[in-house]
C-alpha cells in the first residue's frame, strides 16, 4: 500500500489503518483460513511500512520548515510596509492640520471683511432709502405725485410699500406744520389699502391663489389686513350652505378652505380659527336658536330631543375641526365656542328635564289606568272604614268581609314599564352629554329619584297594595289567587329596573359620593317591596292551605278509613287525596312560574311544610281500621309522590316520616314496639307515636297503650 499524506487526514483511526494494512498483505489476514496466515511475511511488511512512514515524516518535516521560513520572511516584509504606511499617514495628517489652520485663518479674514463691508453698506442703504422716501415725501408736500410708481397700476405693490413707510413717518411729524401732507399721505394710504383689498377679492373670485398670496403679503403690514381676512371669510361662505344640513356644509367648507388658507396667508392657523369662530357665532348659533326657540314652550319633548341632537352634532363637528391647525390651545377654543352657543339652554336643562320626565311618566301611568277603567286609590293617606278593615284583614287574616275583587287584574304592565324605562334612558343619555361634569352625578341622581317615584312607588308598589287587598281570606272557597301573577310580573319588572340601574345610571355616578345615595335608595325600595311581597306570599299560602283544608273537609268521609266491608276496598287512594294532590301540583307550577332563583326553594319549602302540617293534622281526626290504615298509607304515599315535585329535601323528609308514622296504624300489636324503635321513628317524640297509635280502632281491645307506659 503506497504511503501518502492523504492516508492520515482527519478523522484518522489507527486500528483501522493497521487492519487495512494487514488485510492487503498476502498471508497477513484471515483470508484463506489459519493455514494461509504467514507471520513472517506480515512482520516484514510492517517493517517495510515503518521505514516508509519514517521517510514520509522526514519529507513532511522539511516541507514544514520551508513553509515556516517563508512565513517569517513575509511577516518581516509586511511589518516594513506597515511602518512605511504609518510614516506616510503621519506626514499627510500634519499637512492636513496645516491646511485646516490656513482655511480657518482665511475664513476669519473673510468674515471680518464681510462685517466691515456690511457696516459700510447698511448706512449707505439706509441713506439711499431715506433719500428715496424724502423724494416721495416732497411730492406729497408739493401736492403733485409725479413718480410713475404712484400712477402705474402695475406697480401697486411697490407703491404700497412706499406709502406704508411714509404713513409711519407721518405719524411722527407735528400736526400743526404737516397737517396737509399727513392728510394726503393718509388718503393715499387708505386708497391703496382699498385697491389691494379689491384686488384680493377679485383674485379670490378668479381662484388665483398666487395673486391672493402676493396681495395678502403686502396687506400684512397695513391696518386693513384684518378687513382683508374678513372679506376672505365672508366670500368663502358664499354658496357653501345650499343643503339643509348646516353641520355637513360647515365640515365640507372648512375641509376645502383649510388647504387654501395655508397657501394664501402667512398665519393660516389664525385665519382658520377666525373662520370657524365666524361660522359658530353666526350660522350655527342662528340655526340652534331657530330650532330650539320654536319648540321651547310649545313641545318640551321635541325641545329636549332637538337640544340633545344639536349639541351632539355640534360637538361632533368640533371634533372634526380639531384636526385642523387652529393654534396651540384649539380644544379650549372650540369648547368655548360651543359653550357660547348652548350656555343659555344648558343652564335650565335639568329643570326642564325633570319637569318633562315627571309629566310624561304621570301621563303614561294615567293612560294605563284609564285603559283599565280604574280610578287610582290613594295609598298611605287617611283610611276610610273599608280600607281600615282591609288593612286589619291583611295583617291578621281575620274574616272581616270579602276582599276587593280585581277580576284577575294585576295592575302591572310591561308596556308601561318599558315606556317609563325608555323615557328615563333617554333622560340619562341627555343628562350625560348636556350636564356640566361637576353636576352630572347630582342630575343623574334626580332622574333616578323620578324613576323610583313613578316606576317603583306609583306603579309596582301600588300594584302590590292592590294585590294585597285582593287576596281572599284563608277560609274563602274557590278563591282565585292572582297575587302570584303580581309577584311574577313584579319580579320581571324589577329585573328590567336593575338592568337600567347598572347599564345607564352606574357609569354616571360610579366615581362620585352620589353612588352611596343611589345604592341606599335602591336597597330601601327593594326592602319595602320585599316586605309586601313576603306578606302577600304568606297570605297566599294561607289561602292555598285553606283551599286544601276545604277540599279535605268536603271530600274526605269518615267511612274512608273505616270501611263497612273490609274485604271489598278497590281504590288506591281516596278522592280527597286525589283532589288535594292535583291542587298542590297546580300551585307548585304557579310558584315556579312566578319566581326565580332561591326564592322558588324558599316559598316551596314554606308551602311544603304547611302542606305536611295540614295532612298530619287531618289524619289525626279519624279512627283507622286495618284496611283503613292501609288506605291512609296509600294516601300518604300519594302525598309523598306529590311532595317530590317540590324538589325540596326537607319536605320529602317530612312526608317520609309521616309515611312511617302511618305504618303504626296497620302493624301487628306484637311488632309495634319494634317498629317504634325503627330508624325513621326512633328520634320522634313518643307522645307523637302514642297519639298515632291511639287512632287505631283496636287500641283499647288490644291494649296497645301498654307499649307506651
Sequential DSSP letters for 443-476? HHHHHHHHHIIIIIIIIIIHHHHHHHHHSPPTT-
Q: Which residues of the chain have pLDDT under 70?
A: 1-10, 27-36, 119-192, 221, 223-224, 379-408, 478-479, 565-571, 709
Question: What pLDDT, on the 0 to 100 scale, is given for residue 446?
Answer: 94
Sorted by sequence, the CB contacts under 8 Å of residue 100 that are 6+ apart come out as: none
pLDDT value, residue 382: 39
Query: What residues does 624 pair with on adjacent strands?
Result: 696
- Gap between the Cα atoms of 485 and 364, Å rounded: 22
- Counting every residue written for the chain, the total comes to 709
Q: How far is CA 120 from CA 65, 106, 123, 264, 641, in A?
A: 82, 21, 6, 37, 123
Angle between the 626-643 and 575-594 helix axes, to the nearest 10 degrees?
10
Grid look-up 352606574 returns 506
Q: Residue 400's pLDDT is what?
A: 42
**pTM here?**
0.68
CA atoms of 504 and 498, how far apart (whole Å):
10
The distance in angstroms from the start CA to the end CA of the chain is: 125
Is residue 540 within 8 Å of residue 483, measured between CB atoms? yes
pLDDT at 687: 84
- Which residues neighbour 490 within 8 Å (Cβ) at sequence distance 6 or greater? 412, 460, 463, 464, 529, 533
Q: What is the pLDDT of residue 642?
A: 93
**181/164 Cα distance (integer angstroms):** 14
- Grid cell, residue 485, equals 301573577
Spell out a b/e string for 637-666, using b for 16 or more CB atoms within 10 Å of the CB, else e.
bbbbebbebbebeebbebbebbbbbbbbbb
Task: For cell 301611568, name the residue.
Answer: 365
SS3 (DSSP) at 696: strand
Residue carrying C-alpha cell 378687513:
227
Q: How far apart are the C-alpha atoms of 604 and 597, rounded to whole Å?
A: 12
Cell of 496: 328590567
Distance CA 624, CA 691 (A): 13
Share of the chain above pLDDT 70, in %: 80
pLDDT at residue number 207: 81
- Return the C-alpha cell found at 26: 498476502
Three cell numbers at 675? 317498629
- Burial category of 193 from C-beta neighbours within 10 Å (exposed 0-12, middle 13-18, buried 19 and up): buried
**Three-state secondary structure readout of 95-152:** HHHHHHHHHHHHHHHHHHHHHHHHHHHHHHHHHHHHHHHHHHHHHHHHCCCCCHHHHC
How many angstroms separate the most distant Cα atoms in the chain?
Answer: 159
Whole-number pLDDT of residue 605: 94
Amino acid at each position: 500500500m503506497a504511503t501518502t499524506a492523504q492516508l492520515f487526514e482527519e478523522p484518522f483511526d489507527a486500528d483501522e489503518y493497521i487492519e487495512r494494512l494487514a488485510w492487503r498483505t498476502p498471508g497477513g489476514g484471515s483470508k484463506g483460513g489459519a493455514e494461509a496466515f504467514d507471520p513472517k511475511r506480515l512482520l516484514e511488511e510492517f517493517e517495510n511500512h515503518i521505514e516508509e512512514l519514517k521517510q514520509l515524516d522526514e519529507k513532511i518535516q522539511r516541507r514544514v520548515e520551508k513553509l515556516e521560513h517563508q512565513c517569517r520572511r513575509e511577516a518581516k516584509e509586511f511589518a516594513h510596509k506597515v511602518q512605511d504606511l504609518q510614516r506616510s499617514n503621519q506626514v499627510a495628517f500634519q499637512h492636513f492640520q496645516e491646511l485646516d489652520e490656513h482655511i480657518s485663518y482665511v475664513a476669519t479674514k473673510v468674515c471680518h471683511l464681510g462685517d466691515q463691508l456690511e457696516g459700510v453698506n447698511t448706512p449707505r442703504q439706509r441713506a439711499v432709502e431715506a433719500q428715496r422716501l424724502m423724494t416721495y415725501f416732497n411730492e406729497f408736500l408739493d401736492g403733485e405725485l409725479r413718480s410713475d410708481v404712484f400712477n402705474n397700476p402695475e406697480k401697486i405693490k411697490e407703491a404700497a410699500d412706499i406709502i406704508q413707510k411714509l404713513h409711519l413717518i407721518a405719524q411722527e411729524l407735528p400736526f400743526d406744520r404737516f397737517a396737509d401732507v399727513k392728510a394726503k399721505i393718509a388718503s393715499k394710504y387708505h386708497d391703496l389699502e382699498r385697491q389691494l383689498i379689491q384686488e384680493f377679492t377679485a383674485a379670490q373670485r378668479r381662484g388665483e391663489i398666487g395673486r391672493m398670496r402676493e396681495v395678502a403679503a403686502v396687506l400684512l403690514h397695513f391696518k386693513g389686513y384684518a378687513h382683508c381676512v374678513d372679506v376672505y371669510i365672508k366670500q368663502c361662505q358664499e354658496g357653501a350652505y345650499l343643503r339643509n344640513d348646516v353641520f355637513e356644509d360647515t365640515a365640507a367648507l372648512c375641509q376645502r378652505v383649510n388647504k387654501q388658507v395655508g397657501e394664501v396667508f402667512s398665519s393660516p392657523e389664525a385665519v382658520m380659527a377666525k373662520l370657524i369662530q365666524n361660522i359658530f357665532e353666526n350660522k350655527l348659533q342662528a340655526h340652534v336658536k331657530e330650532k330650539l326657540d320654536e319648540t321651547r314652550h310649545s313641545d318640551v319633548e321635541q325641545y329636549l330631543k332637538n337640544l340633545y341632537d344639536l349639541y351632539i352634532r355640534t360637538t361632533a363637528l368640533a371634533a372634526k375641526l380639531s384636526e385642523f391647525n387652529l393654534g396651540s390651545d384649539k380644544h379650549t377654543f372650540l369648547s368655548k365656542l360651543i359653550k357660547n352657543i348652548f350656555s343659555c339652554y344648558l343652564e335650565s336643562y335639568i329643570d326642564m328635564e325633570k319637569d318633562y320626565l315627571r309629566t310624561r311618566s304621570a301621563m303614561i301611568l294615567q293612560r294605563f289606568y284609564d285603559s283599565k277603567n280604574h280610578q287610582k286609590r290613594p295609598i298611605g293617606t287617611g283610611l276610610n272604614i273599608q280600607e281600615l278593615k282591609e288593612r286589619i284583614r291583611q295583617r291578621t287574616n281575620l274574616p272581616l268581609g270579602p276582599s276587593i275583587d280585581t277580576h284577575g287584574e294585576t295592575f302591572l304592565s310591561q308596556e308601561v314599564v318599558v315606556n317609563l324605562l325608555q323615557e328615563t334612558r333617554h333622560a340619562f343619555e341627555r343628562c350625560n352629554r348636556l350636564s356640566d361634569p361637576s353636576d352630572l352625578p347630582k342630575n343623574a341622581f334626580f332622574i333616578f329619584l323620578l324613576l323610583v317615584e313613578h316606576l317603583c312607588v306609583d306603579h309596582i308598589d301600588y300594584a302590590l297594595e292592590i294585590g294585597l287587598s285582593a287576596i281572599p281570606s284563608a277560609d274563602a272557597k274557590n278563591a282565585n289567587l292572582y297575587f302570584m301573577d303580581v309577584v311574577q310580573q313584579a319580579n320581571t319588572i324589577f329585573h328590567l329596573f336593575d338592568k337600567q340601574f347598572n347599564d345607564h345610571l352606574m357609569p354616571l355616578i360610579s366615581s362620585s359620593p352620589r353612588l352611596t345615595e343611589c345604592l341606599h335608595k335602591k336597597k330601601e325600595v327593594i326592602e319595602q317591596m320585599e316586605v309586601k311581597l313576603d306578606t302577600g306570599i304568606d297570605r297566599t299560602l294561607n289561602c292555598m292551605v285553606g283551599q286544601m283544608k276545604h277540599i279535605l273537609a268536603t271530600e274526605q268521609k269518615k267511612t274512608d278509613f273505616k270501611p263497612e266491608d273490609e274485604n271489598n276496598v278497590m281504590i288506591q287512594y281516596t278522592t280527597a287525596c286525589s283532589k288535594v294532590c292535583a291542587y298542590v301540583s297546580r300551585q307548585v307550577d304557579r310558584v315556579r312560574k312566578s319566581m326565580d332563583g332561591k326564592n322558588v326553594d324558599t316559598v316551596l319549602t314554606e308551602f311544603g311544610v304547611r302542606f305536611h302540617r295540614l295532612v298530619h293534622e287531618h289524619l289525626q281526626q279519624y279512627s283507622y281500621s286495618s284496611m283503613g290504615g292501609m288506605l291512609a298509607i296509600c294516601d300518604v304515599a300519594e302525598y309523598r309522590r306529590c311532595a317530590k315535585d317540590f324538589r325540596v329535601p326537607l319536605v320529602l323528609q317530612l312526608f317520609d316520616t309521616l309515611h312511617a308514622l302511618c305504618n303504626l296504624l296497620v302493624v301487628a300489636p306484637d311488632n309495634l314496639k319494634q317498629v317504634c324503635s325503627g330508624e325513621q321513628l326512633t328520634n320522634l317524640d313518643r307522645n307523637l307515636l302514642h297519639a298515632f297509635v291511639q287512632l287505631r280502632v283496636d287500641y283499647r281491645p288490644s291494649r296497645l297503650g301498654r307499649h307506651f307506659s
